[in-house]
Copies of this chain bind each other. A is one copy, B any other.
Amino acid sequence: MVCGLPGIGSVAWLAVNHLQKELRAQLFAEVFSPMFSPKVWLGEDGVVDLMKGEFHFWKNQPGGSDLILFTANEQPYSPEGQYELAEVALDLAYRFGARKVITMGGMATDKLAEPPKVYAGATDVGLVKELEELGAVKLAGGAITGTNGLVFGLARPKKLPAVCLLAETPGYLSLDANAAKTALELFSRMLNVRVDLTALEKQAKENADAVRKAKDLSRAFPREARKGGGDRELHYVS
């Protein structure tokens, strides 16, 4: 099961949505409950939709890994709700015989890394080593908050091998396609699943252009005089 809920830079959400579209995975389950916000969305066609989690299924060729893709249009608003949704997802993964859980996310840093590093943790030391060999940097210490982190951590007592891939993201991007792309590249190597990343690359390039323009603009018309400023990076203030 691949888990990607909204979070920093929407990295995980972008990655799992991209997988779903490129692989043409099929929706097979939805979950909605009071753990979500008390609101509904309207589509452009005027049709109402709930806040909810969605599970898509992708049938691989014989011999390869089939995939369950899990995402949602928001994180549950309460801490208890985040535990509840993580349990719902893991129960479903378990019932469908998933053999590995892959969660993703963004790791906020204060600068634009090119290419971004992917930090990785796992439910056992062997998996951590495997991920390092695939190019990830070991997540040595630290906390992961939210549903993505709980799906990862709660897999452990269920004896489901799980990994967490956090791609560097500068924090000021609300949709970091470049980080999502980098996370998916590692994902592809790990599961030996080929995914066309062209759409994400295009979006990443557009983002980079927009950021560059914003920087040029802020240099040409500085909002306030800076002492010795000039070549500084944009910084993220959360």
List residues of A whose CB falls within 8 A of some B CB.
30, 32-34, 37-50, 77-80, 82-84, 120-125, 128, 138-147, 149-150, 152-154, 156-157, 162, 164
Question: Could you tell me the distance in whole angstroms from the C-beta of A109 to the nearest C-beta in chain B?
Answer: 17
Stoichiometry, copies per complex: 4
B139 touches A46 (CB 8 A): yes
A34 touches B83 (CB 8 A): yes
Partner of A44, one of B33, B45, B141, B152: B141
**CA of A45 to CA of B92 in the docked complex: distance in angstroms?**
29
Given contacts A38-B147, A82-B38, contact A153 B49 (CB under 8 A): yes
Interface residues of A, dominant DSSP:
mixed
B122 touches A38 (CB 8 A): no
**CA of A177 to CA of B139 in the docked complex: distance in angstroms?**
30
Question: Could you tell me the distance in whole angstroms from the C-beta of A204 to the nearest C-beta in chain B?
Answer: 26
A144 touches B82 (CB 8 A): no
Given contacts A34-B84, A46-B120, contact A41 B154 (CB under 8 A): no
Question: Could you tell me the distance in whole angstroms from the C-beta of A203 to the nearest C-beta in chain B?
Answer: 21
B79 touches A34 (CB 8 A): yes
A47 touches B124 (CB 8 A): yes
A45 touches B125 (CB 8 A): yes
Q: Can you name 28 A-B pairs with beta carbons within 8 Å?
A: A32-B154, A34-B79, A38-B79, A38-B147, A38-B149, A39-B146, A39-B149, A40-B153, A41-B142, A42-B140, A42-B142, A42-B144, A43-B141, A45-B125, A45-B138, A45-B140, A46-B128, A46-B138, A46-B140, A47-B128, A48-B144, A48-B156, A49-B153, A49-B156, A50-B153, A50-B154, A77-B79, A78-B79
